[in-house]
Structure 1
């Protein structure tokens, strides 16, 4: 037997089939438990009103129906602002806010991670400290700032604070620090400018980081419509779908069915975004094994 074969045999994990089966059953049970809330939301969206109000409640739908979605459509059609306008507002805020947050956070994180200049540690300390404050604490400050710039009752009152969030800067900076300095020095020797190094080398290498940031940022903006609609945006034609649904479905128990359908529609978009990007998020950096 060769030395390589002995080494491989020595590193082989010693685990029985019974252990593999127990591990599989444990992970399957854990995955089933984590999927229960999503299954419950999907099931409720297709339940008729008598099953929704049934006590004790049934977990799975017995007589599936699309009446909840039909009632939701009829309610949305009765508003004086078209439903498509609410959808456009939501997608515009989420898309522009997410794209701006990823780009600005990446541009700011690159010099913090890979360039040494006076005050870099102080700046990063400020970024870390800013993570300690929740959105509720900064709402008044954000409102005053947007008011001074004349952006209240516009899309930018929601987009600008999202772009300036410190979470993305912290995430991108920590991830960019893993890039070997030798890789960037080699690019400089080849004559690449700083902007070319950033866009052609750094951003492709940290692709898992900014794809993860896209998920977090988009999810936050997609679900922030209600608060944004009531605090920053007053014009009905500028409000988001989340705020519109909240107002329509505040009609009491008679609208429980449309409320279940609206809940499924609201969570479906972030889930689709995650499904599309999750394979890239889980990728390992191409340079993860490189060292200086």
Structure 2
């Protein structure tokens, strides 16, 4: 590397003083602490006795922490005529199958949209973009009609199949796959790799940030679903529905409701914390260019 190139690199280097770095750190710390306040409040509420929950003005931090809210919740779920483990299994089955199925289908559909030419390609992608404008409330009636026609009402599939068609996942995978250099795929074809092998061994490893992000989004959506409107049998109800029924017992169950809220939010947050490091580690592969 020549002397002129080294001088140019030094000029481009960001020159930030110690106080500038300290100010930026303090600003980010304050913003991070502010965004963590709802989570801290939910954690404190879960351990508050009833007299502190209804105290006015409310206190942010718990003064006399107790486990009574969780013990009351355990007693309530133990008295259910449907085993509580059944609700957990239903939620895990719907969430797991929905997430895995959507990641695979979205990736398989995004690959030809991103790396192949065929008639009506732009029109198909335009339909995907248009589908992003519609919320789940808008598509609830068409989804029910389709699920009823397929005979999936009051089954797991009434919730899983619509999750397969999550348009944001297809859009995200397509955008990430477009960043993969065409020269990389052409080199694999020259080596004799088939389209399926290119997809599994070249494309999918390079779009890891996209499908990690999809896992987080789909898990959060399916973990919080209650299946209302599609599932009627008590044996097929989800954990969110069961816990929601428990806390509808009036103000006496306000503490139990706080414990339920903490339990429901803890699993998606744990998943996000786990996959966040994976996304950062693999983000370098998303910036490849020809």
TM range (shorter): over 0.9
Contact 1:109 1:169 in 2 (8 A): yes
TM-score by length of 1: 0.95
Query: What residue number does 2:259 align with?
Result: 261
Deviations 1:177-216 (A, max 9, x none): 0000000000000000000000001000000000000000
Distance 2:21 2:195 in 1: 50
Could you say which residue in structure 2 is the equivalent of 1:242? 240
Where do 5+ consecutive residues of structure 1 fail to align?
none
The 10-residue stretch of structure 1 (38-47 or 281-290) with the greater mean CA deviation from structure 2:
281-290
Q: In terms of mean alpha carbon deviation, does 16-25 or 133-142 score higher? A: 16-25
1:271 to 2:269 alignment = yes
Deviates most, 2-11 or 241-250:
2-11
Q: Could you tell me how far apart the structure 1 residues matched to 2:150 and 2:57 are?
A: 53
* CA deviation after TM superposition for structure 1 residue 12, in Å: 3.3
Per-residue Cα deviation, 1:37-95 (whole angstroms, up to 9, x for no partner): 00000000011111111111100111111110000010111110011000000111000
SS at match of 2:231: coil
Q: Partner of 1:232 in structure 2?
A: 230
Residue among 264, 267, 279 paired with 1:281: 279
Sort the Cα spacing of 1:36 and 1:187 in 2 relative to 1 into closer, same or farther, 3 A.
Answer: same
In structure 2, the residue corresponding to 1:135 is in which secondary structure? coil
CA contact (8 A) 2:95 2:219 kept: yes
Over 3 Å counting, the alpha-carbon distance change for 1:45 and 1:153 in structure 2 is same
Distance 1:206 1:289, change over 3 A: closer
Q: Distance in 2 between matches of 1:283 and 1:16?
A: 28
Where 2:198 maps in the other structure, the secondary structure is helix
SS in 1 for 2:29: helix
Question: What is aligned with 1:54?
Answer: 55
Q: Using the alignment, how far apart are the partners of 2:98 and 2:39 within structure 1?
A: 27
For residue 231 of structure 1, give the secondary structure of its aligned residue in structure 2. Answer: coil
The question of 1:72 aligning with 2:70 is answered no
Quote the Cα distance in structure 1 between the aligned partners of 2:193 and 2:20.
Answer: 53
Alpha carbons 2:95, 2:222 under 8 Å: kept: yes
8 Å contact from structure 1 (residues 205, 285) kept in 2: no
- 2:135 is matched with 134
Long gaps (5+) in structure 2: none
Change (3 A) 1:158 1:289: closer
Q: 1:36–1:235: structure 2 CA closer, same or farther, 3 Å change rule?
A: same
Determine the C-alpha separation between the residues in 2 that align with 1:213 and 1:83: 28
Deviation readout 1:101-140 (Å, 9 max, x if unpaired):
1000000000000000011011001111111111000000
How many angstroms apart in 2 are the aligned matches of 1:205 and 1:5?
32
Question: Is the Cα–Cα contact under 8 Å of residues 207 and 286 in structure 2 kept in the other structure?
Answer: no
- After superposition, give the CA deviation of every residue in 1:209-266 in whole Å (9 maximum; x if it has no partner): 00000000110001112xx1x2100000100010011111101000000100000000
